[in-house]
Structure 1
Amino acid sequence: MKKFKKVLVGLFAILLAVVATACSNKSNSSKDGYTPKSLTIQFVPSQAANKLEARAKPLEKMLSKKLGIPVHVSMSTDYNTVVEAMKSKKVDVGFLPPDGYVLAHKQGAADVLLQSQRYGVKQPGGKATNKLVDYYRAEILVKKGSKIKSWKDLKGKSISVQNPTSSAGYVFPIAELGEKGLNVPKDCKLVTVTGQDQAVLNVLNGDTDAAFVFEDARNTVKKDNPKIMDQVVPIYFTKPIPNDTIAVRSDMSKSFQKKLAKAFIEVGESKEGKKIIESIYSHEGYTKSKDSNFDIVRKYDKIIAKDKK
Structure 2
Amino acid sequence: MRVFKRLGTIVGTLSLIFLLGACGNSSKNAASKSYTPKKLTVQFVPSSNASTMEAKAKPLEKLLKKQLGIPVKVSVSTDYNTIVEAMGSKKVDVGFLPPDAYVLAHKEYNAKVLLQAERYSYTEPDDKVTNELVKYYKAQILVKKGSGIKSIKDLKGKKIAVQDTTSSAGWIYPAVELYKHGINVEKDGIKTVVVKGHDQGVMAVYNGTADAAFVFQGARTLVQNDAKDVMSKVVPIYTTKGIPNDTITTRGDMSKKWQKKISKAFKTIAKTKKGHEIISSVYSHEGYVTAKDSDYNAIRTYDKTAKKLDK
TM-score normalised by length of structure 2: 0.76
Distance 1:168 1:48, change over 3 A: closer
Q: How far, CA to CA, are the matches of 1:241 and 1:83 in structure 2?
A: 19
Q: Which residue of 2 aligns with 1:170?
A: 171
The letter for the 2-side match of 1:259 is: K
CA contact (8 A) 1:196 1:214 kept: yes
CA shift for structure 1 position 210: 2.8
CA shift for structure 1 position 264: 0.7
Q: Which residue of 2 aligns with 1:183?
A: 184
Q: How far, CA to CA, are the matches of 1:54 and 1:179 in structure 2?
A: 40
Distance 1:232 1:243, change over 3 A: same
CA shift for structure 1 position 168: 1.9
Q: Where in structure 2 are the equivalents of 1:50-65 lying within 5 Å?
A: 55-65=56-66
Work out whether 1:150 is the aligned partner of 2:145: no
CA contact (8 A) 1:86 1:109 kept: no
Comparing both structures, which one devotes a greater share of its residues to strand? 1
1:238-267 CA-partner distances (Å, limit 9, x unpaired): 122223211113333444423321221110
Distance 1:188 1:222, change over 3 A: farther
SS at match of 1:184: coil
CA shift for structure 1 position 45: 4.9
Q: How far, CA to CA, are the matches of 2:37 and 2:158 in structure 1?
A: 56
Work out whether 1:160 is the aligned partner of 2:161: yes
Q: Which residue of 2 aligns with 1:232?
A: 234
Q: Which residue of 1 aligns with 2:201?
A: 199
CA shift for structure 1 position 74: 4.0
Unaligned runs of 5+ in 2: 1-27
The letter for the 2-side match of 1:210 is: A
1:180-232 CA-partner distances (Å, limit 9, x unpaired): 32212211422415243443344445554433222122223333443332333
The 10-residue stretch of structure 1 (200-209 or 94-103) with the greater mean CA deviation from structure 2: 200-209
Work out whether 1:132 is the aligned partner of 2:125: no
Of the candidates 205, 215, 218, which is equivalent to residue 217 of structure 2?
Answer: 215
SS at match of 2:187: helix
Q: How far, CA to CA, are the matches of 2:61 and 2:225 in structure 1?
A: 33
Q: Which residue of 2 aligns with 1:18?
A: none
Percent identity over the alignment is: 54
Work out whether 1:38 is the aligned partner of 2:46: no
Of the candidates 241, 245, 251, which is equivalent to residue 249 of structure 1?
Answer: 251
The letter for the 2-side match of 1:227 is: D
Q: Where in structure 2 are the equivalents of 1:76-155 lying within 5 Å?
A: 76-155=77-156
Distance 1:239 1:38, change over 3 A: same
CA contact (8 A) 2:61 2:74 kept: no
1:253-303 CA-partner distances (Å, limit 9, x unpaired): 444423321221110010121123334444332222121222232233333
CA contact (8 A) 2:117 2:245 kept: yes
Q: How far, CA to CA, are the matches of 1:54 and 1:212 in structure 2?
A: 25
Q: Which residue of 2 aligns with 1:22?
A: none
CA contact (8 A) 2:34 2:253 kept: yes
Of the candidates 302, 306, 309, which is equivalent to residue 307 of structure 1?
Answer: 309
Q: Which residue of 2 aligns with 1:258?
A: 260
The letter for the 1-side match of 2:263 is: A
CA shift for structure 1 position 129: 1.6
TM-score normalised by length of structure 1: 0.76
Q: How far, CA to CA, are the matches of 1:201 and 1:280 in structure 2?
A: 19
Q: How far, CA to CA, are the matches of 1:180 and 1:52 in structure 2?
A: 35
Unaligned runs of 5+ in 1: 1-27
Q: How far, CA to CA, are the matches of 1:155 and 1:96 in structure 2?
A: 31
1:105-157 CA-partner distances (Å, limit 9, x unpaired): 01234110012233221113111122333321111223334443322333334
Instruction: Please tell me the root mean square deviation across aligned C-alpha atoms, in Å.
Output: 3.1
Matched pairs, number = 281
SS at match of 1:164: coil
SS at match of 1:185: coil
Q: Where in structure 2 are the equivalents of 1:292-303 lying within 5 Å?
A: 292-303=294-305
The 10-residue stretch of structure 1 (100-109 or 84-93) with the greater mean CA deviation from structure 2: 84-93
